[in-house]
Amino acid sequence: MTEIPKTHPRYLSLRTREMLVEGVEAGITSKAGLIAHGRGEAFDYILGEETIPPALKAERAAIHVLMEAEKPVISVNGNVAALVPSGIVEISNRFEAKLEVNLFHRTPERIGRIISILEEQGAEQVLGLEPDAKIKGLDHERGKCTKEGIFDSDVILVPLEDGDRAQALVDMGKKVITIDLNPLSRTSRTADITIVDNIVRAVPKLLDLSPSKSDFDNEDNLSEVLDHIFNRLKKLSQQKD
């Protein structure tokens, strides 16, 4: 990993990029995952690279739903494993949620490496290597899952998700929580709770914040996100040198 001085104004962003590049080199993250991150990073710039109030509201709602779930599951892909493996394992332990690796660019080798990383962080059981069920309506590799995990879950946390799988999971009657910096994505608009935040900020907050039992409307919350973006861009456009 390239040495980045903490005094660099882009330290956190550059460090995140380096972690993903290292993930590619280790056979954890796909090259397509780098493109996905770049798209999200662009939205993070617009958000101001901070957790905005609507994101906090969604994070508190997500904590409440995870606490109330009977069979919660966390779906893990290569980017998640590269960026927040210890935090994801801690969330799994905190909410008694099962971990399952689910990949679009799926190979047994990649799944095995991701499982090893999660086990190194303390995970006792990680599903996904031997799928025995299928998500209805998905003909690609992300449709493969385990009955014990994703298939039988009632609540599923799907960070950095693909839109078609989010829709398929909702169609199966599952409550879907996602972390997605793009408030306009199919995933964001399909999920029950969308946390519009960088995953490296959202995961710690899911562990530190108190839950909120108030009614949460995902469509209204996404509208608040868009209002925040509009107001911030308007303010920036009015600034003078």
Tokens of 55: 């994101």
Q: Is 65 exposed, middle or buried (0-12, 13-18, 19+ CB in 10 A)?
A: buried
Q: Measured between alpha carbons, how far is 222 from 189 in angstroms, rounded to an integer?
A: 8
Beta strands (DSSP E) in 44-188 are 72-76, 98-101, 126-127, 133-134, 144-145, 155-159, 175-179
- Tell me the one-letter amino acid at 91: I
Q: Which of 11 and 48 is assigned the larger pLDDT?
A: 48
In the predicted model, is pLDDT for residue 11 greater than 70? no
Cα 32 to Cα 39, 78, 188: the distances in Å are 11, 10, 19
Helix (H) / strand (E) containing 193:
strand 193-195
Cα 101 to chain center, whole Å?
13
In the predicted model, is pLDDT for residue 37 greater than 80? no
In the predicted model, is pLDDT for residue 240 greater than 80? no
In the predicted model, is pLDDT for residue 2 greater than 60? yes
Predicted TM-score (pTM) of this structure: 0.91
**Mean pLDDT score of the chain, rounded to an integer?**
91
Cα 99 to Cα 85, 102, 113, 114: the distances in Å are 11, 10, 14, 11
Q: What is the pLDDT of residue 3?
A: 74
Map out the domains of the chain with their CATH numbers: 53-211+221-232 (3.40.50.12640)
**DSSP per-residue letters across 206-228:** HHHSPP--S---HHHHHHHHHHH
Cα 161 to Cα 14, 54, 66, 215: the distances in Å are 22, 19, 18, 24
Q: Residues 135, 150: contact at Cβ < 8 Å?
A: yes
Helix (H) / strand (E) containing 40:
helix 31-47
> pLDDT band for position 1 (50/70/90)?
low
Q: Measured between alpha carbons, how far is 124 from 119 in angstroms, rounded to an integer?
A: 6
Tens of pLDDT, residues 119-147: 999 999 999 999 999 999 888 888 899 99
Q: What is the pLDDT of residue 8?
A: 67
